[in-house]
Structure 1
Amino acid sequence: MRRRQILAAGALATTTAAVGPAAVAAPAPSGRTTPPGNGSTTPPGLATKDTLAFAAGDVLAIGCAVAGGGHHLSQPYPAPFTHDETYRAVLAAEFTSLSAENQMKWDHLRPSRDAFDFTDADAIMEFAAQNGLVVRGHTLMWHNQIPAWVTEGEHSPEELRAILKEHIETVVGRYAGRMQQWDVVNEIFDDAAVLRTEGNIWIRELGPEIIADCFRWAHAADPQALLFVNDYNVEGINPKSDAYYALIQDLLADGVPVHGFSTQGHISIRYGFPSDLAENLQRFADLGLQTAITELDVRMDLPEGGRPTEEQLAKQAEYHRLVVEAAVSVEGCRSLTLWGVLDKYSWVPGTFPGEGAATVLWDDFTRKPAYDAVQDALAEASGRAGHPALRS
């Protein structure tokens, strides 16, 4: 794992928007369990090495989704990444990997057929480079967040194939040599473990063979990037993860460059913990793949008033700890990403009404018990448990 110098909170490089595809240019320690409202102005991890990044050491990349795009466009606050300096400072201090929550999805990158807009994606890449963080690309082929000019356009299958190929070659090629991993295909099986032959425009119009093509195109555009399949509700061994297990074996047998399997990790304390998480990851690792947890958050049903109970917070912390312990127990699981770090920027309340509090920090940047659980589990795995820097 590369270590890095923490830059000032405001150190964000200027980025450049890209136009048509033919014209694309190269590119605080105290208050660990303090509830919100304590008035603290020192974000955790900035004064000492008391951070998730330090605790993780070289065990794995500990990542965070960069809030922005998607549902954030309709929220009553400015774009977090460009307007919240403390938030950016925490991203740089606490993590060694970043993922774009929405800024690298189709609807954000492709305003029209003949134009790309890389402004926000480039800003994340520049910030990561300045702070020595790696980046996971998310996502190249998905059935959601596709612009209307694609879904409502009258395109022949040949035209759709050319559009998808152009998109993958342009986006992956732009960041070639700078992207650690890509989620190439995302959520291609439904909750019944059936391939989305209707709901996914690419599979519906181009056939299941397009899955292999996406991996081949991405690999040709950036041979260094690790290429993943990614989905939710595949934490344990179940029909959906079984479907991926069978699919990936077929792809590998055909020489398709699939390098990794990742489970998102959107979990609720309403349900039991997937106790076979490690076993599931291990069977994919046994195929020679890397594995990853890519979108970890642990939501809960909020009591009246919106304040979680101590029991809920303790259970949330336990779930976080169990995920980290499972991840570090599997050789080849080299990446664990939290899907957000502050509740006010979380996707959960807008998607699951009545649920929330899914992240590891309170909105004033003080730490929930879940933060301590992640940090402690990482420190134990890296041999840094009890290190003075973690208990200052």
Structure 2
Amino acid sequence: MGRRRLIAGLALPALVPPAFGQPLEEGLRAIAARRGITYGAAASTRWLGRDPAYDAALAREAAILVPEGEGKWDSLQPRQGQFTLREMEPILAFADRHGQAVRGHTLGWHTAMPRWVWAALDGAPAARAAALLEAHILGVLGMTRGRIRDWDVVNEAIADPDLLPDQDLRDGAWWRAIGPGWIDLAFQTARAADPEARLVINDYGLEADWPRAAEKRARMLRLLRGMRERGVPVQALGIQAHMPLDQPFSPAPFAAFLREVRGMGLEVLLTELDVIEPAGQPLRDADIPARDEAVAARAHAVVSTALAEGCRMVLTWGLADPHSWLNAWAPARRADGAVVRALPLDAQYRRKPFWHALARAFEGR
């Protein structure tokens, strides 16, 4: 299956019935699709099917869904050799009902693994660790082949420069157990398991205009060039784009990076977009209009730059603020208890300046 046909198949504009007597409105999925762009969002079974307003917004706005946690190792293979889509199935079924595609996230990561994996890796020789990784990828893609056509094969493999200044790759579980070749192995196994899926390497911290992000971009480029030279079947770079507002952004260095990636014949995707309000300043309700404008301006700058450089898929990590990992996941919550306004819709599913910024970017404005 060609990559152009994949993108065309994912951009599925649709209008859904209005919720709670509201007028029929066009969502971001339809606005984006008019210019060949696919917009989507992370979804979670914590909310799906429990809140009619959530369901209606997700169906209206998103052409593609990505499971927030239901596509990780601990959900898909909780016990060795026992593969299951039980946690992901509600998302797949919802997508089927609403003409949406589903992305897979993620096959190889250094966390979100059940205890049995950590026990199996403890002191295991490289060959045994490699067999564990291969078995997981083969088992998962055996279940999802034909249903999920886009997978984050490897997630967050690049080391943060401030933590590992002299090593490009993260010192994670698979790197320690197998060595740097674990990334090639994951992609080769995924291609053998599903010849039709688009295979993506996904990472964060690549968009800001400051030295740490510049070094991380350089590390990613070195990894991608090496993979291409070795014939590893990577097809796209997923840029998470969890964007802290206290990190500067300039279009030029980000655009230059995207051009280098595209020059290798790879696609670029924005896969986990949200905006993180500064931790070091109070977030007051009285400042919400100004806060929302700052979030929207950053989102528009990053998304419009990516689109100008050929990106044709944009996903936010959630759709409405209460469901953002920054508010819903205890370790990420602010110490002062303030609610971060990180996503396109607010707690009542009303469209914020973030939503309008995305619409403008999708329309080329």
TM range (shorter): 0.7 to 0.9
Q: Distance in 2 between matches of 1:197 and 1:367?
A: 38
* 1:298-317 alignment, distance < 5 Å: 298-301=275-278, 303=282, 308-317=287-296
Q: Distance in 1 between matches of 2:14 and 2:363?
A: 20
- TM-superposed CA distance for 1:59, in Å, is 2.6
Check 1:80–1:250 CA distance in 2 against 1; reply closer, same or farther (3 A cut).
same
Count how many residue pairs are aligned between Structure 1 and Structure 2. 336
Deviations along 1:74-125, one digit per CA (max 9) or x if unpaired, are xxxxx20131222122111111111111110112222211322311212222
Residue type of the alignment partner of 2:362: L
Deviates more, 1:56-65 or 1:306-315: 306-315
User: In 1, distance between residues paired with 2:14 and 2:344?
Assistant: 24
Report what 1:245 is aligned to.
221
1:187 corresponds to which residue?
A: 156
In the alignment, the residues of structure 2 paired with residue 307 and residue 299 of structure 1 have an alpha-carbon distance, to the nearest angstrom, of: 18
Q: Could you say if the C-alpha distance between residues 42 and 146 of structure 1 is closer, same or farther in structure 2, counting changes exceeding 3 Å?
A: farther
Contact 2:14 2:29 in 1 (8 A): no
* 2:241–2:272 Cα contact (<8 Å) kept: yes
- Given that 2:304 and 2:364 are in contact with CA atoms closer than 8 Å, whether structure 1 keeps it comes out as no
On the 8 A contact 2:13/2:29 being kept in 1, the answer is no
The match for 1:371 among 351, 355, 365 is 355
Match of 2:3 in 1: none
The more displaced of 184-193 and 137-146 is 184-193
The residue identity in structure 2 corresponding to 1:118 is L
Larger deviation: 86-95 or 251-260?
86-95
Decide whether the 8 Å contact of 1:66 with 1:81 is kept in 2: yes
TM-score by length of 1: 0.80
1:174 paired residue among 134, 143, 163: 143
- Ranges in structure 1 where 5+ consecutive residues have no aligned partner: 10-27, 29-40, 69-78, 382-392
Q: CA deviation at 1:187?
A: 0.7
Given candidates 264, 269, 275, the residue that maps to 2:240 is 264
1:129 alignment partner AA: D
Instruction: State the secondary structure of the residue aligned to 2:160.
Output: coil
Q: How far off is 1:131 after superposition? A: 1.7
Whichever residue aligns with residue 358 of structure 2, its letter is: V
Query: What SS does structure 2 have at the residue aligned with 1:336?
Result: strand
**Structure 2 counterpart SS, 1:296:** strand
Whether 1:107 and 2:74 are equivalent positions in the alignment is yes
Partner amino acid for 2:312? Answer: R
Q: Aligned-pair distance for 1:5?
A: 4.8
Mapped contact 2:207–2:249 kept (Cα < 8 A)? no
Higher relative contact order (CA 8 A, sep 6+): 1
Structure 2 partner of 1:209: 181
Answer yes or no: is 1:361 the counterpart of 2:329: no
Aligned to 1:165: 134
CA distances 1:336-363 after superposition (whole Å, capped 9, x unpaired): 1011111111111331524611111111
Q: Write the deviation string for residues 39-77 of structure 1: whole angstroms up to 9, x where unpaired.
A: xx567xx6132x211211243110100135xxxxxxxxx
Q: What's the offset of the Cα at 1:283?
A: 1.2
The residue that corresponds to 1:3 in the other structure is 12
Measured in 1, the distance between the counterparts of 2:286 and 2:47 equals: 23
Pairwise mapping of residues 82-161 of structure 1 onto structure 2 (< 5 A)? 82-153=49-120, 154=122, 156-157=124-125, 158-161=127-130
**Matched residue, 2:5:** none
Q: Does 1:66 align with 2:66?
A: no
Moved more, 186-195 or 104-113: 186-195
1:290 equivalent to 2:261? Answer no
C-alpha contact (below 8 Å) 1:196/1:204 kept by paired residues = no
Q: What TM-score, normalized to structure 2?
A: 0.85
Equivalent position of 2:205 in the other structure: 233
**2: CA distance between counterparts of 1:144 and 1:112?**
16
Distance 1:307 1:109, change over 3 A: farther
Q: How far 1:148 moved relative to its partner?
A: 1.2
Q: Contact conserved, 1:308 with 1:357, CA < 8 A, in 2?
A: no
Q: How far has the Cα of 1:257 moved from its partner?
A: 0.3
Paired amino acid for 2:325: W
Distance verdict in 2 for CA 1:322–1:346, change over 3 Å: same
Closer/same/farther in 2, CA of residues 130 and 189 from structure 1, 3 Å limit = same
Unpaired stretches in structure 2, ≥5 consecutive residues? 1-7
Runs of 4+ in 1 over 6 A off after TM superposition: none
Residues 304, 281 of structure 1: alpha-carbon distance in 2 compared, 3 angstrom cutoff: closer
